Amino acid sequence: MIVANIPSILGWIMLYYTHSVASLYASTVLMGLSIGFSEAPILSYVGEITEPRLRGMMASLASTAGMLGMFLIYLLGYFFEWRIVALLSTLCPITCICLVMLIPESPIWLIAKGKNEKAKKALCWVRGWVNPEIVKTEYLELIRYNELSGTRNGKVNIEYDSLSSKLSQLKDPSVYRPLGLVMIVFFISYIICLLPCKPYFSQIMNQVDLSNDQSLLLV
């Protein structure tokens, strides 16, 4: 997560100093990479540390936070010049890096690495700095799950002979069916939302005579 935020910082700084179309594209690519690198670890971490009854709700907060972030950027754009907004936006990934450094690794990941004592402390932390006795049952369940999954010191005890053997897993219905559904959902959701229209907002507003206060309309 720390590394994933570095391209975002570089992208916002590049956007602040940009004076060419090429640098605009470069900053966009950097920020896009940061988002892509961050999404999987965020959802994985949330899934690993939250209780089953809260897992769905907590995972959905990632998308909600993204929407709130876009709203905040548009709101800042109404009050400040866009370069100032770009500079202020660097505070988001910097703050994220600082906060990530304060949280522990997920308990199940630590157990998979053989760091059981650290896993117990991490579990106490994510459950609200509770006493180890309170999380004892959950801790033992995580150890049992790790044993059943065949994970030892961060390695799954399944070996594949070649790259083709690994790719052959995609033929398994339990793999390609959920993967296909996820791809379809993402494709449809991005097609029907306004994200593809964002680069053309200014042009659209000019054509419909809404060029007087575009910043407010974006908010």
Task: With a cut of 80, say whether residue 211 has pLDDT above it.
Answer: no
| pLDDT score of 161 | 53
Q: Give the separation between CA 214 and CA 219, rounded to whole angstroms.
A: 9
Q: What percent of the chain has pLDDT over 70?
A: 85
Task: With a cut of 60, say whether residue 157 has pLDDT above it.
Answer: no
Q: pLDDT band at 11, cuts 50/70/90? A: very high
Q: Where are the chain's structural domains?
A: 1-103, 108-158
**H/E stretch holding 90:** none
Q: Please give the residue that has the higher pLDDT: either 89 or 51.
A: 89
In contact, 211 and 205? CB cutoff 8 Å? yes
Q: pLDDT band at 199, cuts 50/70/90? A: low
Q: pLDDT band at 47, cuts 50/70/90? A: confident
Mean pLDDT value across residues 15-38: 89
Mean pLDDT for the chain overall: 82
Task: With a cut of 80, say whether residue 204 has pLDDT above it.
Answer: no
Convert the pLDDT of each residue in 53-71 to its tens digit. Answer: 888 888 788 778 888 888 8
Task: With a cut of 90, say whether residue 10 has pLDDT above it.
Answer: yes
Q: What is the 3-state secondary structure (H, E, C) of 133-199?
A: CCCHHHHHHHHHHHHHHCEECCEECCCCCCHHHHHHHHHCHHHHHHHHHHHHHHHHHHHHCCHHHHH
Task: With a cut of 60, say whether residue 45 has pLDDT above it.
Answer: yes
Do the bridges between strand 151-152 and strand 155-156 make them parallel or antiparallel, or are there none, so unpaired? antiparallel
Name the least confident of 116-120, 145-149, 163-167.
Answer: 163-167
- The sign one gets for the Cα dihedral 13, 17, 22, 28 is positive
Q: Rank 7-11, 183-187, 193-197 by mean pLDDT and report only the highest.
A: 7-11
Mean pLDDT value across residues 154-179: 70
Q: Give the separation between CA 208 and CA 203, rounded to whole angstroms.
A: 9
Q: Quote the pTM value.
A: 0.71
Q: Give the separation between CA 16 and CA 86, rounded to whole angstroms.
A: 6
Q: Give the separation between CA 70 and CA 152, rounded to whole angstroms.
A: 41
Cβ-based burial of 7 (10 A; exposed 0-12, middle 13-18, buried ≥19): buried
213: its two tokens: 């206060």
Convert the pLDDT of each residue in 136-154 to its tens digit. Answer: 888 898 888 888 876 655 5
Cβ-based burial of 102 (10 A; exposed 0-12, middle 13-18, buried ≥19): exposed
CA angle 75, 199, 91 (to 5 degrees): 40
| pLDDT score of 210 | 67
